[in-house]
Amino acid sequence: MRPRLLDLLCCPACGSGLQAEAFEEKTGRIINGLLSCVCGQWFPIINSIPRLLLHNLRAQLVERHPEFYKDHASRLPEEVSLHNRDVIGTKVKTQVSFGYEWTIFSDYAVDNFSEFIRPLEGGFFEKKLGLDVGCGAGRHVKHATSLRAEVIGMDLSHAVDSAGRLNQDNPLAHFVQGDVVDLPFRRGAFDFIYSLGVLHHLPDPERGFRSLIPALKKEAPIFIWVYQRTKRKEWLEYARRMTTRMPLPVIKELAWSATVIDYGIVVNLYRLLQRAALVARWTPLRIKEYAKYDFAASYADWFDRLSAPTSHFYSQAELRAWFERAGLKNIETALVEDSWVWGKGKRP
Ligand SMILES: [Zn+2]
């Protein structure tokens, strides 16, 4: 964690500023250490990433980083009992599922970021400070920083470890493990916030969206992609009622079989026949999209479809209503192919 990040963070429980203590430092960065708050909460910094989680979302940290808790046991404060608000099981399940996904599929190479930022004016990112909500394995942070923004990638899951590795020597990239609804950032910290394909996986997506607004500066935009409501996605929900209950390695096997049919047969058939005018006209957009990518990309998406514990779907009007109810201005929405709804608005 670079010292600069401390100016942007706050305690997700009470909103106060945090004190940092380094156990290990390297080239001015805290590799392992501790963030503490006047309210008694404390948060570990593990492998250079501050972990600002509350409630039972913390249990994963102890499981995944036992060496941190063992090596620094004498310096860690007692775990404070967390105020009495249960985090529902779905959220922990989401944390585990996406952590697994973005570790296994960390080399996922679909470039949907270019499409996502297409409606923005040229040079938008230059010298701005932004937040990537649900950064996964850090692909979009890499892209946004290449356009010269400084970006903080936040994810609920241990995917932040993959993201940190992908952006290791990138001075413009920072990562935080945190939760959208208990946002660990100071009010008015960011010049922009974006979230690409994430909010629809929250138990209450609109609540997650609303909790981001205070972290924007005045006049700063937020822009998001959420799942578009389509017949195809509604049908898939029937399969997901079963698959989301299965162990992750089993879902991975199923996703592989689905990819063999969907990509191995359908997409490849399209590739063979695409010169025929009728085929080109009647092939669904998603098949044409996947024809640009490899088997691995389709495999990762199938895993995502079958494993994500919760998914919600929206029409353009429903997404616009989020922005209106949040009191944002200059609202724009658009459908992107037959998969996404894009929305953007500014904090007044
Ligand atoms: Zn606090």
Question: β-strands 129-133, 29-36: how paired?
Answer: unpaired
Alpha carbon of 153 to ligand 1 centroid (Å): 22
What pLDDT is recorded for position 105?
77
What pLDDT is recorded for position 88?
61
The residue-averaged pLDDT of 1-12 equals: 95
Average pLDDT over all residues of the chain? 90
Enclosing domain of residue 277: 245-307
Alpha carbon of 41 to ligand 1 centroid (Å): 6
74 and 108 assigned to the same domain: no
189 and 300 assigned to the same domain: no
The residue-averaged pLDDT of 140-166 equals: 95
Alpha carbon of 69 to ligand 1 centroid (Å): 21
Predicted confidence (pLDDT) at residue 249 exceeds the cutoff of 70: yes
Alpha carbon of 89 to ligand 1 centroid (Å): 24
119 and 265 assigned to the same domain: no
Alpha carbon of 37 to ligand 1 centroid (Å): 5
80 and 46 assigned to the same domain: yes
How would you write the chain as a 3-class SS string? CCHHHHCCECCCCCCCCCEEEEEEEECCEEEEEEEECCCCCEEEEECCEEEECCHHHHHHHHHHCHHHHHHCHHHCCCCCCCCCCCCCHHHHHHHHHHHHHHHHCCCCCCCCHHHHCCCCCCCCCCCCEEEEECCCCCHHHHHHHHCCCEEEEEECCCHHHHHHHHCCCCCCEEEEEEECCECCECCCCECEEEEECCHHHCCCHHHHHHHHHHHECCCCEEEEEEEECCHHHHHHHHHHHHHCCCCHHHHHHHHHHHHHHHHHHHHHHHHHHCCCHHHHHHCCHHHHHHCCCCHHHHHHHHHHHHHCCCCCCECHHHHHHHHHHCCCEEEEEEEECCCEEEEEEECC
Per-residue pLDDT tens digits for 179-206 = 999 999 999 999 999 999 999 999 899 9
285 and 323 assigned to the same domain: no
Give the alpha-carbon dihedral of 159, 305, 54, 89, to 10 degrees: -140
What pLDDT is recorded for position 270?
87
Alpha carbon of 11 to ligand 1 centroid (Å): 5
Calpha distance 137→101 (Å, rounded): 9
Alpha carbon of 240 to ligand 1 centroid (Å): 38
3 or 278: which leads in pLDDT = 3
Can you read off the two tokens belonging to residue 151? Answer: 């970006």
Alpha carbon of 10 to ligand 1 centroid (Å): 8
- Collect all residues with Cβ–Cβ distance below 8 Å to 318 and sequence separation of at least 6: none
Which of the residue ranges 104-113, 208-217, 231-240, 283-292 has the most confident prediction, judged by mean pLDDT?
208-217
Predicted confidence (pLDDT) at residue 7 exceeds the cutoff of 90: yes
What pLDDT is recorded for position 211?
97
Question: β-strands 129-133, 192-196: how paired?
Answer: parallel
- Report which residue type is found at 160: V
The residue-averaged pLDDT of 107-123 equals: 86
Calpha distance 114→5 (Å, rounded): 27
The answer to which of 61-70, 125-134, 232-241, 269-278 has the lowest mean pLDDT is: 269-278
**Which residue(s) pair with 155 in the sheet?**
177
In a domain, 94, yes or no: no
134 and 113 assigned to the same domain: yes
Alpha carbon of 90 to ligand 1 centroid (Å): 25
CB-side exposure of 144: number of CA atoms within 13 Å?
31
The residue-averaged pLDDT of 92-118 equals: 80
What pLDDT is recorded for position 282?
80
In a domain, 164, yes or no: yes
In a domain, 93, yes or no: no
In a domain, 342, yes or no: yes
211 and 113 assigned to the same domain: yes
Per-residue pLDDT tens digits for 220-231 = 999 999 999 988
Alpha carbon of 14 to ligand 1 centroid (Å): 4
Alpha carbon of 84 to ligand 1 centroid (Å): 15
192 and 293 assigned to the same domain: no
pLDDT-derived band at 87, boundaries 50, 70, 90: low
Query: Which chain residues have CB less than 5 Å from ligand 1, an ion?
Result: 11, 13-14, 16, 37, 39, 41
Residue 90: Cβ-neighbour burial (10 angstroms; 0-12, 13-18, 19+): middle
Domain boundary among the residues 86, 112, 137 is at 86
37 and 137 assigned to the same domain: no
Can you read off the two tokens belonging to residue 180? Answer: 């959208």
Alpha carbon of 63 to ligand 1 centroid (Å): 24
Measured CA distances, 16 to 19, 32, 38, 184 (Å):
10, 22, 7, 10
Calpha distance 115→132 (Å, rounded): 16
pLDDT-derived band at 102, boundaries 50, 70, 90: confident
In a domain, 235, yes or no: no
pLDDT-derived band at 18, boundaries 50, 70, 90: very high
Alpha carbon of 199 to ligand 1 centroid (Å): 25
The residue-averaged pLDDT of 48-75 equals: 91
In a domain, 36, yes or no: yes
**Which residue(s) pair with 343 in the sheet?**
224, 333
Please give the share of the chain, as a percent, with pLDDT higher than 70: 97
Domain boundary among the residues 59, 86, 113 is at 86
Predicted confidence (pLDDT) at residue 83 exceeds the cutoff of 50: no
Alpha carbon of 332 to ligand 1 centroid (Å): 36
Domain boundary among the residues 57, 86, 115 is at 86
71 and 12 assigned to the same domain: yes
What pLDDT is recorded for position 86?
53
What pLDDT is recorded for position 196?
94
The residue-averaged pLDDT of 116-129 equals: 95
Task: Report pTM.
Answer: 0.88
292 and 191 assigned to the same domain: no
Calpha distance 272→287 (Å, rounded): 13
In a domain, 295, yes or no: yes
Predicted confidence (pLDDT) at residue 84 exceeds the cutoff of 50: no
The tally of domains found in the chain comes to: 3
Indicate which CATH number applies to the domain containing 335: 3.40.50.150
In a domain, 70, yes or no: yes
250 and 329 assigned to the same domain: no
